[in-house]
Structure 1
Amino acid sequence: MLYSQYATAADPTVANIFILRPTTPLLLTTSRTYETGVKLLSADKRAEATFSAFDIERKNVYVPESGILFNVAGKMASKGVEIAAAVNPVAGLKLWGNVAFVQSRFIDFTYVDGNGDFQSYSGKTPPNVPNFIANAGASYRFDTKLPVEIGGLVRHVGDRFNFQDNLVTMDAYTIFDAFAFVDIPKAYFPGVDQTRISFRVRNLTNKLYAAWGDPGYTDQIILGAPRSRIATRSRLRSNGSRGSPRPRRGRSCHATVGRNRKSIAPLKPRVSRAIDQRNLASIGRNA
């Protein structure tokens, strides 16, 4: 099946107009999106795939220069492709994955800073936008009296810049998750059709990485969460609605382990430690 779509939108400038300079215009940020692609489904409905290409353009984008100052980028553009696929090769086994290649650039971004110096970031990549993102996962469901499913996920995010000058790079990172859940039928818990108990381990290898950089505070980054273990319970009621997961408080329901780390850490130049234009690595290195 072929598909295409076109959309436009406009949104207010920034949440707080008091952080704009008197000389900064108050404009609406507008956007335009083209997307086209193809969706495929096998005859036995065991495999599906999607390929899409997109082109996004935004005008009058307010970009932070510091924590209290914003400048207007006249135009930004993003182009890319996405590929996603999923397959059930045998009963109980599921495999899936997706990749995205993105090219994002400031097309028109020039201004005079507070010191009276001319600045131009035209042609630069916006902060926190990777050129490549990939996700993959697999799971297997055991057809037992109490059905149990186990699986794993891997996510890779490419290099990103933490500021529009593109001088400091946040390194690419790859993280792994693991999960398992058991479905308990109504016979065990009268009053609900099905209860699911889930267990998940996030950041399985306890990797240290930078998840995001704030262009307004270029000497700081936000680190990704360390390894954590989570248990939840959800219920499917007789009316067909699923009850919200309500993990009990305490170590049995939510425990976090790993190195003791602060959420925000200083960025050290020349030291490498390792959501969109279409989407969100190590601490950083000077480009």
Structure 2
Amino acid sequence: MSNALKETVGRYGIWSAGLRSEDPSRRGELAEATAELEQLGYGAVWLGGSSSARNAVPLIGATSRIAVGTSIQSIWQYTAAESAASFAELEQAHPGRFLLGLGVAHAKNTDGYRRPYSALVAHLDALDTAGVPAGRRLLAALGPRTIELARDRAAGSIPYLVTPEHTARSREILGETPLLAPELKVVLETDPTRARTLAREALSPYLALPNYTANFLRNGFTDSDLTDGGSDHLVDAVFAWGEDAQIRARIDDFRAAGADHVALQVVDGNTREELPREAWRRLASLLG
């Protein structure tokens, strides 16, 4: 199933929290934007934040090919039974188009947070019982144990806020078959000061979340890299910025490290509601 999944999502996709809006007045705008992403050649749209199958419905309905996945759906927000019911409904209407991306979210933002790994295993057990196939679910896996779980109990991993080095280690653990689709933030700015300022604005909230900081420390960064919005070393590792050729080279670094697919998130300092459609067109052009 994973080889077919790799063909479905292609090499590149768009990660966007803005496309998961539940504002009815924006339904047409979101559908139109997703249809254009399909026309531009992207293979998948990843709905950022605490997204769900409900957010995917209008986007899938407006398109014919592009896959739509959650990145991520929190295991604390929806029960396995609720997830299975919405999955089955979408699967019946649009077979093969929806991907259930799951994660344990963050204790800081979650009531009742407890033993996240054990809770994730139990959630996957319940999804098995409810009939959601392992080949259509993905895990936001950062640490080695969760990457192994993505290998053994899902179709692969969709890690967020990672480096090419983490990608290489993930591929080693996953093996060849599972999908590995890291998210990568892109700043379409050539001035280093401006680019890193925008990057730090986006990065700073994540540096207050232990899931990410622990992963950075596990992957060779130091405490000094995690202060003041992140060191240049950290920013340059988890963002692509600069001339088009530099951005393309950074994306290629993830592919060379073992990524089957790279989910690109545009960072431009605007609000989530302002969809960066011109930037998505520019990225499609530089990706060829």
Fold conserved between structures, TM > 0.5: no
Question: Which structure has more strand as a fraction of its residues?
Answer: 1
Larger-Rg structure: 1
Question: Which structure has more helix as a fraction of its residues?
Answer: 2
Which TM-score applies when normalising by structure 2? 0.25
